[in-house]
């Protein structure tokens, strides 16, 4: 049994994908070739935004808009500690300060009431200037953007939707990639839409921001590639990865439906999984549940491993307690929900090709007395 089955998926698309790759080998435009621009057009059309800007990773998709806004030392950017480190890492790279906000115990996404509390705390302390919010759509479930946007407008803050795991999801039929001022997604192979290496994309309706992001991803160049107009980075997507994504897009909606069916089947015998509010559609990047304690979680992992059923703990360490972020001064029990989740959560196999017999095997192992 596979935690993530990319082999079965590849069998479906192998022949047309090889045709696309052979075309690239023939034309020789390996970086920012025609496939990249075709992909950007199709991604923008899929989400319903004016601009989709491809880049080299989901991390760069977060970093580039922050650079475009000039965020740096003295600025506070609010985000969750219960996610992959990249979300906070990009803030620190620019010299800005990550301010962590705890999450809802039910959805694992940023708690909007606590978000406003933290913003006011920073304002009252007067040491940092609040600049932006990066909510994370954890495990494929979009954050509460109606509330996030209301708070952002109240305090004049920018919003980056961290949609690294949620591409393909939606809220009330409005697709992920359209929330906030800008959205960022990842095409890491394990994502619902993943390439065969690293890749990412930025989504926005803001023309000026789109132009800045396009320049930053190519060393800050605009009109002359040998004359940088701003500090940028090497954030381009290569043509072969674009070809992989173009082919995977042809089966993507079908795969989201299959993921949704597997999620429903899991929930028939599990009642402690991530809560999905009505009208919120997840991309089901992961299927995660919480146990009552760390020992119960570890016991379940052990029982499943004995039956050769793979599991992964996302995330073993909340970011505020990682060694790299000690300089911020957070301590144990500062963000109790995130800390509890890191001790009690586990993710089970989730992919479009999970067989009924595998699901039955998982069920049998979990519900055994």
Q: Rounded mean pLDDT of 239-251? A: 98
Q: Predicted confidence band at 300 (pLDDT cuts at 50, 70, 90)?
A: very high
pLDDT digits (tens, 9 = 90+) for 193-206: 999 999 999 999 99
User: What is the rounded average pLDDT for all residues in the chain?
Assistant: 97
Co-location of 212 and 277 in the same domain: no
Residue-level pLDDT at 40: 98
Q: Predicted confidence band at 367 (pLDDT cuts at 50, 70, 90)?
A: confident
Query: Number of helices (H) and strands (E), helices first, in the chain?
Result: 11, 12
Co-location of 65 and 187 in the same domain: yes
Among 246, 268, 285, identify where a domain stops: 246
Residue 52 is assigned to a structural domain of this protein:
yes
Among 246, 275, 300, identify where a domain stops: 246
| Whether residue 341 has pLDDT greater than 70 | yes
Co-location of 354 and 261 in the same domain: yes
Co-location of 219 and 238 in the same domain: yes
Give how many domains the chain has, as a whole number.
Answer: 2
Among 198, 226, 246, identify where a domain stops: 246
Q: Rounded mean pLDDT of 331-337? A: 98
pLDDT digits (tens, 9 = 90+) for 32-73: 999 999 999 999 999 999 999 999 999 999 999 999 999 999
Q: Rounded mean pLDDT of 6-24? A: 98
Q: Which domain holds residue 184?
A: 6-101+109-246
Residue 1 is assigned to a structural domain of this protein:
no
Co-location of 306 and 173 in the same domain: no
Residue 99 pairs with which residues in a beta bridge? 78
Question: Hunting for tokens 């913003």 — which residue is that?
Answer: 119
Per-residue b or e along 263-286, where b marks 16 or more CB atoms closer than 10 Å to that residue's CB: bebbeeeeeeebebeeebbbbbbb
């Amino acid at each position: 049994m596979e935690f993530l089955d990319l082999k079965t998926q590849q069998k479906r698309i192998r022949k047309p994908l090889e045709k696309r790759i052979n075309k690239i080998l023939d034309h020789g435009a390996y970086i920012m070739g025609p496939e990249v621009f075709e992909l950007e057009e199709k991604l923008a059309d899929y989400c319903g935004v004016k601009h989709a800007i491809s880049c080299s990773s989901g991390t760069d998709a977060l970093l580039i808009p922050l650079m475009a806004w000039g965020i740096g030392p003295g600025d506070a950017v609010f985000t969750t500690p219960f996610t992959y480190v990249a979300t906070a890492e990009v803030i620190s790279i620019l010299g800005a300060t990550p301010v962590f906000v705890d999450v809802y115990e039910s959805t694992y996404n940023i708690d909007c009431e606590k978000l406003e509390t933290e913003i006011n705390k920073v304002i009252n302390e007067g040491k940092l200037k609040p600049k932006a919010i990066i909510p994370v759509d954890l495990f494929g479930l979009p954050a509460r953007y109606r509330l996030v946007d209301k708070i952002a407008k109240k305090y004049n803050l920018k919003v980056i939707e961290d949609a690294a795991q949620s591409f393909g999801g939606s809220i009330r039929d409005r697709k992920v990639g359209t929330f906030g001022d800008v959205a960022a997604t990842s095409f890491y192979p394990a994502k619902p839409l993943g390439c065969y290496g690293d890749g990412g994309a930025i989504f926005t309706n803001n023309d000026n921001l789109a132009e800045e992001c396009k320049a930053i991803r190519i060393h800050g160049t605009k009109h002359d590639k040998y004359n940088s107009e701003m500090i940028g980075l090497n954030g381009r997507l290569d043509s072969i990865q674009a070809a992989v994504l173009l082919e995977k897009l042809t089966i993507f909606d079908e795969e989201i439906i299959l993921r949704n069916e597997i999620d429903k089947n899991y929930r028939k015998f599990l009642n402690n999984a991530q809560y999905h509010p009505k009208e919120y559609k997840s991309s089901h990047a992961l299927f995660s549940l919480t146990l009552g304690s760390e020992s119960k979680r570890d016991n379940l992992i052990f029982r499943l491993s004995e039956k050769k059923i793979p599991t992964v703990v996302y995330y073993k360490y909340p970011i505020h307690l990682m060694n790299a972020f000690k300089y911020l001064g957070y301590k144990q029990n500062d963000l109790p929900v995130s800390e509890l989740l890191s001790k009690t959560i586990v993710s089970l196999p989730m992919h479009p090709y999970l067989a009924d017999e595998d699901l039955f095997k998982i069920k049998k192992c979990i519900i055994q007395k």
